[in-house]
A = this chain, B = another copy of it.
Amino acid sequence: MNKIITIGRELGSGGRELGKRLAEMLGFAYYDSEIISGIAHKTELAESYVKKILENTPTVNFPITIGHSFYPHVGADLQQTTSIYVEQSNIITEMADKSSCVIVGRCADYILRDRNPFKIFVFASPQSRIERCRQKAPKDEHLTDKQLWKKIKKVDKSRAKYYMFYTGRKWGDKMNYDICVNTTNASIKTVAEALVKMFRDRD
């Protein structure tokens, strides 16, 4: 059976870099924005539109996994969002069927929960996240630390809402993961090496 590593991550914590390193060290496939492209292809929607939908969380304030006998009116927007999520779940499952892989974000830990993935969450201090985001920002972006932090918090909120909506779980709650790593004082390379060790000895 293929082996799966899922990574949840705070923006600016180095989760993507960690995912790429793990995939490289283990010879696994790596998926991130590729998933979005896949969905875009399958649903025949423009990639930019799908990206926008996925970044803007559904507006219903209860988890979709909770049953309701009296279900509120579901608008076209929500239907569209949910259909993209379903498509995305199918693609993630297909990826996991195809080969061992590392998947960053997109509720993959929940979608693949029956396959016993190694579930990682990556986080860091506000200052460290601001610095990492600044390094990766477009050259013409001139935000103050305060403005950048506001932007980061907005992404956090959006990810937390998205995760809660589709899984009924709290995003970043340590109980949902095998390991939570604070990258504030750590080198991603070292973290990757340590996690590969834990992952290999797991089975």
Contacts and interface: CB of A to CB of B under 8 A. Distances in A.
Interface residues of A, number: 26
A73 interface: no
Contact of A185 (B125, B178, B182, B187): B178
A174 B182 contact: yes
Contacts of A181: 178-179
Interface of A: 116, 121, 123, 125, 172, 174-175, 177-182, 184-187, 190-191, 193-195, 197-198, 201-202
Nearest to A119: B182
Contacts of A185: 116, 178, 202
A199 to B, nearest CB: 9
8 contacts: A123-B174, A174-B182, A177-B182, A179-B180, A180-B180, A185-B202, A187-B201, A194-B197
Contacts of A184: 178
A186 B172 CA distance: 20
Nearest to A123: B174
Nearest to A201: B190
Given A180-B180, A194-B194, 13 more contacts: A116-B185, A123-B174, A178-B181, A178-B182, A178-B185, A178-B186, A179-B179, A179-B180, A179-B181, A190-B197, A193-B201, A194-B195, A194-B198
A50 B184 CA distance: 37
A83 to B, nearest CB: 33
Contact of A180 (B125, B174, B187, B201): B174
Nearest to A189: B201
A202 B186 contact: yes
Contacts of A116: 185
A13 to B, nearest CB: 12
